[in-house]
DNA sequence: CTTGCACCCGTAGTCGCTACAGGGCGCAGG
DNA sequence: CCTGCGCCCTGTAGCGACTACGGGTGCAAG
């Protein structure tokens, strides 16, 4: 029941304590009460909110997405269609990046495998960058 | 044979012309000759160098990696072992990111699929963020 | 003559933090 | 009583790799 300091809050939610100040500055965390010393004094609700933020960040949601999701998570909302839309859009994004990365992986793996560490004129790695654009 | 302007160089290599100025500022592209008007005057060699940079960026190499690869691509180097090492390290990096993204994809896809757009108390998307940390 | 284009320069903004610099407050040990 | 420690406070600068803007110049065509 007694308030938490910023350090304890950060540890409880699993984030860096400087990130908490950052979230406050950008309006993602509300400005908390202050102790007589001027230290921030947090409640349990802040731990839940900060943990929500941390999980969403781990899943790759942007700050603006999280801002929206936090609003949608309030009990006053009757449906989660909007939350689903945000998650679906993010999923599409993740899948696009996954496809891009898989392509890179394929090209890099093929090139590195062909490189024996021999002389420069025939180095597959440098050749690809110099002349490339053929097999993508 | 006649020199290219920055705009033509950028178009020839397929990059934004402001990126060329940026590469010059950070020392990735050499400062070119100047026409009487003060406009930058580029040669064919610059097109090749800038194209090398663009391809390396498309493959996800960092600016510092590219700086090293450009040096290694000079004919004075007898072996490409170092280039291979840089490419291998980057490939390891790409594979790590690929694994991370695949994990995100799995979690997001599962959650979105379970969400019917129903009432908030049972929204899988918001529930995962609120209570999550169970099935990763 | 004036319109439009491509170029010039320097600087600020993007994203999501992280890392200082420079200070304060309270408590425990010497 | 003094010193050091550990936590907290504020504000600001830095990361990577650009992108975008403001405000100016030179040059050719209509």
Structure tokens at B83: 């280039």
Q: Which helix (H) or strand (E) holds A33?
A: strand A33-34
Neighbours of A25 (CB within 10 A): 10
Residue A134: per-residue pLDDT: 42
Interface size between A and B, measured as CB pairs under 8 A: 141
Predicted pLDDT of residue B44:
93
What ipTM score was computed for the predicted complex, to two decimals?
A: 0.87
By three-state DSSP, how is residue B96 classified? helix
Which nt sits closest to A20, CA to C1'?
Answer: C17
In this predicted structure, what is the pLDDT of residue A136? Answer: 42
For residue A1, what pLDDT band results from cuts at 50, 70 and 90?
Answer: low
Average pLDDT of chain B, as a whole number: 90
Q: Would you give the distance in Å from CA B108 to the centre of its chain?
A: 26
Cα dist from A63 to A26, A68, B68, B96, whole Å: 9, 9, 35, 24
Nearest to B117 among A81, A95, A115 (CB): A81
């Amino acid at each position: 029941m007694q308030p938490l300091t910023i350090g304890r809050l950060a540890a409880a939610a699993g984030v860096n304590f400087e990130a908490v100040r950052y979230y406050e500055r950008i309006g993602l965390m509300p400005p908390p009460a202050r102790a007589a010393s001027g230290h921030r004094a947090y409640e349990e609700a802040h731990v839940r909110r900060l943990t929500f933020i941390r999980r969403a960040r781990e899943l790759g949601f942007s700050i603006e997405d999280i801002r929206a999701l936090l609003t949608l998570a309030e009990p006053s909302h009757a449906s989660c269609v909007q939350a689903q839309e945000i998650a679906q859009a993010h999923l599409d994004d993740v899948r696009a990046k996954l496809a891009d990365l898989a392509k890179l992986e394929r090209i890099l793996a093929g090139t590195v495998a062909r490189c024996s560490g021999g002389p420069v004129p025939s180095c597959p790695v440098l050749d690809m960058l110099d002349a490339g654009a053929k097999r993508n």
